[in-house]
Every structure is written in C-alpha cells, then in structure tokens.
Structure 1
Amino acid sequence: MSIPHPIRFSPDLESIQEDEQKTISGLNDQFDIIMRTTSEDYGRAVRSVHAKAHGIIEGELTIAADLPQELKQGLFSVPATHKVYIRLSTNAGDVLPDAISLPRGFAMKVLDVTGPRLPGADGSTQDFIMVNGPVFQAPNAAKFLSGLKLLAKTTDRMEGTKTVMSSVLQTVNKGLEAVGVSSPTIQSLGGAPNVDPLGETYFSVTPFRYGNYIAKFKLRPMSRDLTKRTGATINRRLGDDAIRETVRAEMQETKAVWEFQVQLCRDLEKQPIEDPTVEWSEEDAPFVTVATVTAMQQDSWDEANVRKVDEEMRFSVWTGLDAHRPLGNINRARREPYLHSAEFRRRFNGCPMHEPTQ
C-alpha cells in the first residue's frame, strides 16, 4: 500500500473558535489559583504545570544528513549539531512526593537556531515539549479548562489522600491496559505507571507546522543504556524525590541517545489538526528519524544547571521558528498561559527568564 503525499501547510487548515479568548482567560485564572497556592506554601513560585523537575541534562541534537526533501524543513533543513538543555518532569502543578505517579514530561531547548521566529519568541532557541503518551487528555481547550478547575481545587491539598488515590488508580489503569484500553484521564489523575523517565518514549501530542508540511514529533530511546530501562519502575522507597535520585544515579553511567522522529500529516480526516485526543496511526503516517539527541554521562542535578535551567528558563511550544508554528486549538490556548505563568514566576521570584546562548 502506497503512502499518500504529505498535506501542504496552509493557515486556513486551522479552525479557530469564537470563544477561544474567553477560554484562555479562564485558563489564566485557574493557573493563578494553582500558582498562588503553591508559591505561598513553598515561598517561591513554581511552574503551573510540570512543576517538579527530576533531571536537568545537557546534550546535543544532531540533524541527519541526506534527508529527503519533504523532511528537510525548518530547523532540520541543514545538517548541524546544536547544544540542547533537557528538563525531565512530571505534570502536576504542585511539587508532590514521587509515590504519586503521574505522566512524565520531556522539555528540550535547542540552541543556536536561525530563521524567522514566531511572534514574541525572543532569542535563538527552539523548544520541543513532549510527554510519554501519544494523545492529549482533552479534545479542546474548553474541555481542558474543565479538568484544570478540578486540579486547581486539589492543588497542595491532602497529599496523603492523593498518594492513596494514586495507588488505586495505578491498579485501575493496569486493568484497563490489560484489555487494550489506555486512559489519559486516569493517568493524569495519578494512575500512570511509575516508570523510569530515561526509558520512556515521548510525543509532542499536538501538531506543528513542519516547514511546508504539518507534523507531530516523537523522541524514542535508542541506546542500550536507555532501552534497558524501558518499562522499569521507580523504587518509591528511595523517598519523596525517588525519581530524581534514580535519574541522577543512572546518568552517572549512562550514554543516552534518542531518535528524534517526525510524523507527517497525510490525511486530515485520519490525522486531524484540531483534536489531539486522536492518535495518528503510524500505519497511515509513519514516523521517520530526522535527528539524534545525545547526552553523555553527567550529574543530572548539578546545582548550577538546576539554577540556570529550572529556575531561570521557561519552556514553551511558542518559543522557536515560525517554520514550527504550533497548530490546533490546544496549542493556540497554550501561548498566553505559558507567558502568564512565566511572568508570575518572574515577579514572585524576582528572577527574569533567560533564553540561553550557550
């Protein structure tokens, strides 16, 4: 069976809703509730989502040579090696003990990127933000706002209850997976498997412009040091920071290599732009490797890097090249809240955000 040609990008492929700005204002309000609560408790402001980091890793992104023309787009147009900063996290807006199992996040900032930039995207970097699941938990920003209101009400409350709930939900999630059902909702509430983030595969979940085309992204573990940890669970007996301690110990002896892959949209009905709860089938639209990400052995909780990356940087899908413009309702709704969250952190902590140059 031949694979259709990729769909050409056009701005009119997006379907902008009339009430999007109202929804965005609601998201800002809920993020304010989360951040006010956590900043008062911790004495410092943390991110409104993915507040807890488990590792800060330096590495390199190497773009493949001799890519076919349809893959030589944007950042990936020219073979090159770029320094990257990686932040491993879990998705809650409060800093929870690691007994509460949540989906993993992988945020990567690529340095020394050239080309026309997105509006308001300062610096010369390109951010990629991924999670260890192929779909988003809500079909649109309005539905996401409904779920966020629930999370805002439970932020930093009854952590002991959350731990018990997480254990129950993990059992429920395993039962669903045994019959071929995956529930992003259950996973986001604490039912995700408590896996080692170094062994996970990460997805952009939402679509992006890919130069002349449209794509989703995937980061897949490639080196043996990573693949041997795929499916491995974290020993919660190590304490509230068990994930961080595990990653730190492993990165002392790990050569980490991931494949950075692109999945081009080839059928707008099978691979919709506006609904990120729909997984794009790899049979209809295969992932293809366009680069590798390599990180050598290092201290993944080095104090200077933690301050530089975790405290003084922000990650946003709207930081980067216009050639990789975020697409779809969820992505459009991420722009203002990301800025809003970073501005809250800047004001409360008295520390401006920086786009790195080295």
Structure 2
Amino acid sequence: MAAQFVRYTPDVEDDDPNFDQSLQTVIDKTESFIAESVQAGGTGQALRDAHAKGYGLVRGEVEILDGLPPEYAQGIYATPGTHDALIRFSNGSPHTGADARLGSATGLALKIFDIPGPTLLEDEPDTGTFDYANINGPIFFCNTIEHYLFIQELFLNAPSYFSQGRPGAHRFFTDFVTGKGTLEQDSWAWDEFLAFLRLSKILPVNVLLSSYWTMGAVRHGDYIAKVRITPDPSAAAAVVRRDIDPASAPEVFRPALQAELQERPYAFDIQVQLCTDLERMPVEDTTVEWPEQLSPSVTVARLRLPQQDISGPENLAKMDALSFTPWRVTAEHAPLGNIMRARKEVYRHSSIERHRLNDQPRTEPRSADEVLGPPR
C-alpha cells in the first residue's frame, strides 16, 4: 500500500532565486499595515494582516487515534494519546467591522499542547505546541511570494476598490489578473484569480459547519499531504443555527458559534490526504484541488470541543493575544511550497510587530488552562 504514496524529498519544492528579496518586501508591507491599523482599523489595537477579526477562542481536546495504518501514523500521529488544545475561529479578511462587509472566508487556527520535539521556529524551539492555520477552502489564490506582492496590496486596499461599486470591482479584478500591470499577458494570474472567485462564492454558514484545509501541502513524515479539519457528521447534524445571513445584523458568526457551544459539545475529525501524483496533486500550485478519488482523506485524530461559554470581551482579548503559525510544528510536518515557505517569516514578523504595538507579552502558553483558566 505504501508504494502508491509519493515520498517526501527536498526536490518536490522549486527554487526561486528572488525569494528572499520578494519576502522582505512583503514583510515590510505587512509591518507597515499593522502599524497603520492601530488608527485605521477602528479598534485602537494593531490588527493581524489577515484573519484580523476573531469569532472566539475555544477550548478543545485532540485525541490522536490508535491503530492507524503506518503511512498515516507519521510524526505526531505516530503516538496515540490525548492533548489539550485551543481553537481560534476567524474571518479571513485583513479588516474588521460588520460581518457583511468581510465576506465568508473563515479560518480555524488550532494549537495543540504537550507535543514533544523542537518546532521549526528557531526563536522558540521548545514551546511544546503545534499549530495549524487552516482556511475553509481546499484551494488558495496565491502560489508564489512574487505574486503575493500585488495580491497582498489588493486585499489590504480592497475596501477602497469595492466601495466604488461595479467600476471599483472591475478595477480590482483587472489589477488581480494583470498583477497591477506588471505581468506579461501569457503570465496573467488567471488560475489564482479563478481560485479567488471560487473562494469568494463560499456561502456563509455557522463556522462549526465548515471544513478547513491547510492552505498548501505539508510534510507528513515520510510522505506529502494536505490536512483537513472537518465536522464530525453526528455533531454537525445537531447544530441548530446553520445558515448565516450577514445582512441580518452587524455580528452573526460569533453569536451563532457562542450559542451552539453554550448548549452542546461539538467535534471535528482531523484528516490527512496523502499525495499519490505530483502532477495532479501538486506542491507548488495551491489553486489545484487534490482529487479525493486519487487519495481519500483519512481520519487520524478527533478534535472535541466541550460545552462552554465563550461570551464576554475577555475571551476576545485572550484570543487576540495568541499567536498561530503553520511553522510552529515539528520537522516531520514542515509546510511545503513557495507560498507556504513565505508564511514562516511573514507570520513571525507580523506577530512580533502586533504584540509590540499592543504591549502584549509574546510568549507561548503551556496549556489551555494557562490562557482560559481551569474548566468550570
């Protein structure tokens, strides 16, 4: 069975000679946006440059399953057991405000505690934490740090485009496809633009009912994978507040999440989809959805959310003081591909600048209780 899965080797990733230069430009723009967001963001706080608005910080428990096939029992999933966890649900926009103006792209960031082994972050190798930063779509709309140079600028300035109605939207679309006029016509960003359109058409639902994917490929020990956090069917069936109407009130996602967790526990499955074909399941092209018929997603762990109360401003304050990054993982789970590599330093610099401006200590917690207090 193992022979059908592509084994990880360093050459599955492409080299980009301009990577470091482009990365520094993105870091500079990110830090500038975060600094300006203290005044421009409307909250008096420095904001994240993506997923700026959080919907709640939730206590959880991850159970790594026993008896997994050896191809799936890799890295942290090779050792069955139970770990405390924290989950941050968020909107994908770099802006805050009423849910109706932010769109339906949402995220699930997961922090798992008591994971042995050094992380891939050189400045915090021994935190014992392991993060996922997943989005509610199986594809992403940016493949390279070079393209992120103009895509980031478009999204940071999206309100000024779309506030001008259809002409503004047309300019946004044109600037996206053409790279703001920097791309040759044969290299226009059609695949990335079409991926953006697909993600922009996601229907708004309770965040508990979405599935959340790693934005790109990751190592899975000896193999290559994407990881999906998807609702447990029986838990999803019990959700009462299912469809969300962002036009009905300024805040719709957080109240629905809060009410469900006050009434009942919830559960997700953590699933791994192993790569079987680098042509049809590419590492460097995040706009391609990996076909389930080539390699189905297999459940390797359960994420359980106990019944809890996440109401109150203190929950949001504790949530915003945390840091999540796809690079706070062990080497067996390293993110792969150009845009995933870029996230390492962009996320790190973003977190450092945001915590500095907000006068927040930037330290990794050692347990969920340290952040939320003991369960009541």
TM-score bracket for the superposition, by shorter chain length: 0.7 to 0.9
Deviation at 1:183, TM superposition (A): 4.5
Find 2:349's aligned residue among 337, 340, 343: 340
Deviation at 1:191, TM superposition (A): 4.5
Q: Assess if the C-alpha contact under 8 Å between 2:56 and 2:315 holds in 1.
A: no
**Partner Cα distance (2:104, 2:289) in 1:** 20
Instruction: Report the counterpart of residue 176 of structure 1 in structure 2.
Output: none
Instruction: Report the counterpart of residue 249 of structure 1 in structure 2.
Output: 259
Q: Assess if the C-alpha contact under 8 Å between 1:113 and 1:126 holds in 2.
A: yes
Instruction: Report the counterpart of residue 281 of structure 2 in structure 1.
Output: 271
Q: Assess if the C-alpha contact under 8 Å between 1:33 and 1:152 holds in 2.
A: no
**Partner Cα distance (1:150, 1:237) in 2:** 24
Q: What one-letter code is carried by the residue in structure 2 that aligns with 1:202?
A: Y
Instruction: Report the counterpart of residue 214 of structure 2 in structure 1.
Output: 204
Instruction: Report the counterpart of residue 175 of structure 1 in structure 2.
Output: none
Instruction: Report the counterpart of residue 56 of structure 2 in structure 1.
Output: 55
- The 1:291/1:148 distance shift into structure 2, 3 A limit, reads same
- The 1:125/1:161 distance shift into structure 2, 3 A limit, reads farther
Gaps of 5+ in 1: 167-181
**Partner Cα distance (1:231, 1:24) in 2:** 41
Instruction: Report the counterpart of residue 185 of structure 1 in structure 2.
Output: 196
**Partner Cα distance (1:230, 1:276) in 2:** 34
Greater CA drift, 116-125 or 272-281: 116-125
Greater CA drift, 219-228 or 89-98: 219-228
- The 1:145/1:206 distance shift into structure 2, 3 A limit, reads same
Counterparts of 1:5-84 in structure 2 under 5 Å? 5-41=4-40, 42-84=43-85
Secondary structure (helix, strand or coil) at the match of 2:61 reads strand
RMSD over aligned Cα, in angstroms? 2.7
Counterparts of 1:146-295 in structure 2 under 5 Å? 146-154=150-158, 157=160, 183-186=194-197, 191-227=201-237, 229=239, 232-236=242-246, 239-295=249-305
Gaps of 5+ in 2: 170-192, 368-376
- The 1:38/1:191 distance shift into structure 2, 3 A limit, reads farther
Percent sequence identity is 31
Instruction: Report the counterpart of residue 102 of structure 1 in structure 2.
Output: 104
**Partner Cα distance (1:140, 1:231) in 2:** 38
Deviation at 1:223, TM superposition (A): 4.5
**Partner Cα distance (1:217, 1:5) in 2:** 18
**Partner Cα distance (1:62, 1:113) in 2:** 12
- The 1:187/1:345 distance shift into structure 2, 3 A limit, reads farther
Instruction: Report the counterpart of residue 296 of structure 1 in structure 2.
Output: 306
Instruction: Report the counterpart of residue 128 of structure 2 in structure 1.
Output: 124
Greater CA drift, 43-52 or 7-16: 7-16
Deviation at 1:225, TM superposition (A): 3.7
Structure 2 residue 138 is the aligned partner of structure 1 residue 134 = yes
Q: What one-letter code is carried by the residue in structure 2 that aligns with 1:149?
A: E
Deviation at 1:224, TM superposition (A): 3.0
Instruction: Report the counterpart of residue 113 of structure 1 in structure 2.
Output: 115
Find 1:352's aligned residue among 358, 361, 370: 361
Q: Assess if the C-alpha contact under 8 Å between 1:137 and 1:144 holds in 2.
A: no
Secondary structure (helix, strand or coil) at the match of 2:263 reads coil
Q: Assess if the C-alpha contact under 8 Å between 1:140 and 1:329 holds in 2.
A: yes
Secondary structure (helix, strand or coil) at the match of 2:143 reads coil
Deviation at 1:226, TM superposition (A): 2.1
After superposition, the C-alpha distances for 1:77-101 in whole angstroms (9 at most, x for unaligned) are 1110011100001111111311122
- The 1:302/1:109 distance shift into structure 2, 3 A limit, reads farther
**Partner Cα distance (2:2, 2:222) in 1:** 18
Instruction: Report the counterpart of residue 174 of structure 1 in structure 2.
Output: none
Deviation at 1:313, TM superposition (A): 1.2
Q: Normalising by the residue count of structure 2, what TM-score does the alignment of the two structures yield?
A: 0.83
Instruction: Report the counterpart of residue 170 of structure 1 in structure 2.
Output: none
Q: What one-letter code is carried by the residue in structure 2 that aligns with 1:314?
A: S
Between the two proteins, the alignment pairs up a number of residues equal to 340
Q: What one-letter code is carried by the residue in structure 1 that aligns with 2:113?
A: L
**Partner Cα distance (1:69, 1:230) in 2:** 38
Q: What one-letter code is carried by the residue in structure 1 that aligns with 2:48?
A: R
**Partner Cα distance (1:231, 1:265) in 2:** 36
Deviation at 1:354, TM superposition (A): 2.1
